[in-house]
């Protein structure tokens, strides 16, 4: 079955530690995205990638980093510089950038204490 | 700047009833529109794309009103399983661009037995 996987589902970290969230897709989609969702809030775009070896900052990129070395993979690192990292992180992909539907992975719920 | 507005609800509706809610968008150049469904603590799932001519899928009908800049979602014969948060999503750019997808904060629907 084609789809997007994210791991782990729940992640707990101490403040000051960097943490990397995994996102893999086997849909052969060019574009991938990372969002964060806070309670009662809409999704906010962190980073996106149109194609392998290319990525751009979204609306709230500070304190995050990404890489796109393979088409299938778009990991997100939450660094210690992110002031409020506890959130629900969602990875998505679409066939290409533009007017296309985005499909989401199951998400990673990160708690930093 | 870009904005997508939804009534957060909750809308409490008896099972079997018809329910409709709207979403307004501020950018008149918006080109593509979607409704996503999000269950509690889960990822958003694409419910339907909204075409200029409207779109119907079983009990669900989506309509676009460009003149008044809103899209609507109608659910007929509502089921208990329709209880969820419905996200309105708008892409204002015809030429693509990742921050093109703007998510509303969602409308919370509760179907009561």
The phi, psi pair for B97, rounded to 5°, reads: 115, 130
For residue A31 the two structure tokens come to: 């574009």
Rg of the Cα trace of chain B? 14
Does residue A1 carry a pLDDT above 80? no
pLDDT band at B99 (very low <50, low <70, confident <90, very high): low
pLDDT of the residue at A98: 76
Chain B CB contacts of A59 below 8 Å:
99
pLDDT band at B94 (very low <50, low <70, confident <90, very high): low
Residues belonging to chain B with any Cβ–Cβ distance to chain A shorter than 8 Å: 4, 8, 31-32, 34, 41-46, 49, 87, 91, 93-101, 103-106
As a dihedral over the C-alpha atoms of residue A1, residue A4, residue A37, residue B71, rounded to 10 degrees, the angle is -60
Closest-CA residue in chain B for A90? B43
**Which of B42, B112, B103 is CA-nearest to residue B83?**
B112
**Which of A82, A100, A83 is CA-nearest to residue A33?**
A100
Half-sphere exposure at residue A97, Cβ-oriented, CA atoms within 13 angstroms: 17
Half-sphere exposure at residue A106, Cβ-oriented, CA atoms within 13 angstroms: 7
pLDDT of the residue at B28: 85
Closest-CA residue in chain A for B6? A42
Does residue B4 carry a pLDDT above 60? yes
For residue A80 the two structure tokens come to: 């210690």
Inspect the interface and report whether the beta carbons of B43 and A42 lie closer than 8 Å: no
pLDDT of the residue at A65: 97
pLDDT in tens, B45-82: 999 999 787 899 999 999 999 999 999 999 999 999 99
pLDDT of the residue at A31: 93
Inspect the interface and report whether the beta carbons of B96 and A97 lie closer than 8 Å: yes
Inspect the interface and report whether the beta carbons of B94 and A99 lie closer than 8 Å: yes
SS3 string, chain B, reads CCCEEECCCCEEEECCCCEEEEEEECCCCCCEEEEEEECCCCCEEEEEEECCCCEEECCEEEEEECCCCEEEEEECCCCHHHCEEEEEEEECCCCCCHHHCEECCCEEEEEEC
Q: What is the mean pLDDT of residues B34-48?
A: 95
Q: What is the mean pLDDT of chain A?
A: 93
pLDDT of the residue at B12: 97
Q: Is there a contact between A30 and A49 (Cβ–Cβ < 8 Å)?
A: no
Length of chain A in residues, anyone? 113
pLDDT band at B30 (very low <50, low <70, confident <90, very high): confident
How many whole angstroms separate alpha carbon A35 and alpha carbon A89? 6
pLDDT in tens, A66-103: 999 999 999 999 999 899 999 999 999 999 887 788 99
Q: What is the mean pLDDT of residues A49-68?
A: 94
Inspect the interface and report whether the beta carbons of B94 and A48 lie closer than 8 Å: no
Q: What is the mean pLDDT of residues B10-37?
A: 93
Q: What is the mean pLDDT of residues A24-53?
A: 93
Inspect the interface and report whether the beta carbons of B96 and A105 lie closer than 8 Å: no
How many whole angstroms separate alpha carbon A23 and alpha carbon A4? 7
pLDDT of the residue at A62: 96
């Amino acid at each position: 079955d084609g789809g997007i996987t994210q791991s782990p589902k729940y992640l707990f970290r101490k403040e000051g530690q960097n943490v990397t969230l995994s996102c893999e897709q086997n849909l052969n989609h060019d574009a991938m995205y990372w969002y964060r969702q806070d309670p009662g809030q809409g999704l906010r775009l962190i980073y996106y990638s149109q194609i392998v070896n290319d990525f751009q900052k979204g609306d709230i990129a500070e304190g995050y980093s990404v890489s796109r070395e393979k088409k299938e993979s778009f990991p997100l690192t939450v660094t210690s510089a992110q002031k409020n990292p506890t959130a629900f992180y969602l990875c998505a992909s679409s066939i290409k950038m533009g007017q296309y539907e985005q499909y989401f992975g199951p998400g990673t719920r990160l708690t930093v204490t | 700047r870009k904005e997508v507005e939804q009534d957060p609800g909750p809308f409490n509706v008896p099972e079997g009833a018809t329910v409709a809610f709207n979403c307004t968008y501020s950018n008149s150049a918006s080109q593509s529109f979607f409704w996503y469904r999000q269950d509690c603590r889960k990822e958003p799932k694409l419910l339907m794309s909204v075409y200029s001519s409207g779109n119907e899928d079983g009990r669900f009908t989506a309509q676009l009103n460009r003149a008044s800049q809103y899209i609507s979602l109608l659910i007929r014969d509502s089921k208990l399983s329709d209880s969820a948060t419905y996200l309105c999503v708008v892409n204002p750019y015809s030429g693509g661009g990742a921050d093109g997808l703007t998510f509303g904060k969602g409308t919370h629907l509760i179907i009561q037995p």
